[in-house]
């Protein structure tokens, strides 16, 4: 794999959704999906979409990759960096803007259902499952925020 080494290059921008729900036992759960190529656990994410605001594009990615519908936050809860491997085996640095998605419904059929595995994790398990330290930090912070008492 060749790494793109232009240190002055701006990271490529992506958007992602952090899907969460409350389980029947009252505990919080985070949904992760596998990436198509490396099969790592990640959040639904992709490139910005012309004509859509970043949070709308994040909600669309969550639908396409995991069949999720729900309420997407309009403000990002964080950003993280990762290296994306391209089809030509080069790698580019990407910055992902993450929006919270409160899942209302998980559809049985969706565009990428045969390309990905989905799994609901506790926040601690999700933070351990992802490879990117920045994404793990966002998951941990979101879990702390969810447990914080409301004023």
Instruction: Tell me the DSSP string of 78-110.
Output: EEEEEEEEPTTSEEEEEEEEEEEEEEEEE-S--
Q: With contact defined as beta carbons under 8 Å apart, do 134 and 142 qualify?
A: no
Give how far the C-alpha of residue 26 lies from the chain's centroid of Cα atoms, to the nearest Å: 23
33: nearest Cα among 63, 12, 54: 63
As averages over each run of 10 residues, the pLDDT of the chain (151 residues) reads: 51 97 92 92 97 98 98 97 84 95 97 97 97 97 73 55
pTM for the whole structure: 0.89
Hey, what domains does the chain have and what are their CATH numbers?
2-6+13-147 (3.90.79.10)
pLDDT on residue 5: 45
CA geometry: angle 59, 4, 49, nearest 5 deg: 20
């Amino acid at each position: 794999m060749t790494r793109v080494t232009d240190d002055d290059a701006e990271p490529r921008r992506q958007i992602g959704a952090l899907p969460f729900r409350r389980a029947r036992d009252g505990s919080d759960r985070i949904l992760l999906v596998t990436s198509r190529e490396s099969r790592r656990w990640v959040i639904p994410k992709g490139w910005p979409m012309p004509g859509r605001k970043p949070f709308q594009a994040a909600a669309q990615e969550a639908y396409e990759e995991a069949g999720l519908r729900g309420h997407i936050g309009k403000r990002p809860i964080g950003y993280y960096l990762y290296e994306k491997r391209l089809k030509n085996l080069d790698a580019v640095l990407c910055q992902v803007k993450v929006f919270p998605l409160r899942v209302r419904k998980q559809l049985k059929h969706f565009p990428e259902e045969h390309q990905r595995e989905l799994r609901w994790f506790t926040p601690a398990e999700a933070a351990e499952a992802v490879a990117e330290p920045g994404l793990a930090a966002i998951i941990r912070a979101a879990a702390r925020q969810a447990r914080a008492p409301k004023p």
